[in-house]
């Protein structure tokens, strides 16, 4: 995927004008670029009010894709948690299937950022993966990201989104949520112990 050369040019121009380091100049440009609201998505996280997201409107972005950006707000002095742009849908369409959530992500001076996917049952979380072990840190150019989970028959809801931990910004493009072939390995496990599908030893015949 092509690098954003226009953005780099703007950053170097600001560095020359202000004397800032590259990461400082980049942060100033990213935190102030206008964003267009994105219907259907909502902000979540333990410090949700510290973050914002939207469609990038700057002409420095690649024109062959729509790019959403999740970032720490410019008026927040120090990152103290995480934010996520997210959606929650009914599990009906995907019950019993293997589900993949994927997209292209690009990071700018982040602690870490990645896609996440969660499957919920009536009494809690059935499966979850936020990709922390394989998430990019710092500043990284476009890379493919994917989380894959099994959706249990008893699932009632599916939540998914883009997660940003700490400061900086992360961009997202080419997003899809779809059923994948069972041969595709899952990236995360069940959130709790596997449960039997039927009652066990009701007649007390089995002994330890």
Mean pLDDT of the chain: 86
52, 37 Cβ separation under 8 angstroms:
no
Closest CA to 147 of 121, 175, 171: 175
Which pLDDT tens digit goes with each residue over 7-66?
778 788 888 888 888 877 777 777 777 899 999 999 999 999 999 999 987 545 555 678
- Using the Cα atoms of residue 129, residue 134, residue 140 and residue 143 in order, give the sign of their dihedral: negative
Determine contact, residues 121/155, Cβ cutoff 8 Å. yes
pLDDT of residue 30: 73
Joined tokens for residue 51: 């973050």
At 22 the pLDDT is: 81
**Mean predicted confidence (pLDDT) in 163-192:** 90
User: What is the model's pLDDT at position 1?
Assistant: 32
* pTM of this structure: 0.79
The percentage of residues in the chain with a pLDDT greater than 90, rounded to a whole number, is 62
Of 19, 1, 9, 24, the closest CA to residue 108 belongs to 24
The domain defined by 35-180 carries CATH number 2.60.120.260: yes
DSSP for 149-162, written as a single string: EE--TT--EEEEEE
pLDDT band, very low/low/confident/very high, at 132 (cuts 50, 70, 90): very high
Domain ranges of the chain: 35-180
The string of pLDDT tens digits covering residues 14-23 is: 888 888 888 7
């Amino acid at each position: 995927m092509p690098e954003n050369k226009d953005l780099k040019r703007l950053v170097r121009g600001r560095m020359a004008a202000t004397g800032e380091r590259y990461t400082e100049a980049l942060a100033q440009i990213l935190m102030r670029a206008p964003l267009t609201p994105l219907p259907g998505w909502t902000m979540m996280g333990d410090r949700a009010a510290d973050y914002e997201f939207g469609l990038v409107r700057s002409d420095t972005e690649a024109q062959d894709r729509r790019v959403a950006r999740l970032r720490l707000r410019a008026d927040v002095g120090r990152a103290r948690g995480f934010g996520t742009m997210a959606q929650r849908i009914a599990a009906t369409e995907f019950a019993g299937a293997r589900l993949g959530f994927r997209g292209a992500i690009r990071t700018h001076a982040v602690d870490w950022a990645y896609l996440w996917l969660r499957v919920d049952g009536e009494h809690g979380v059935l499966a979850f993966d936020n990709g922390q072990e394989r998430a990019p840190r710092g500043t990284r150019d476009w890379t493919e990201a994917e989380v894959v989970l099994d959706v249990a028959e008893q699932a009632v809801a599916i939540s998914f989104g883009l997660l940003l931990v700490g400061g900086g910004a992360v961009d997202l493009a080419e997003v899809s949520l779809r059923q994948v072939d069972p041969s595709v390995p899952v990236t995360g496990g069940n959130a709790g112990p596997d449960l039997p599908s039927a009652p066990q030893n009701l007649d007390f015949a089995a002994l330890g």
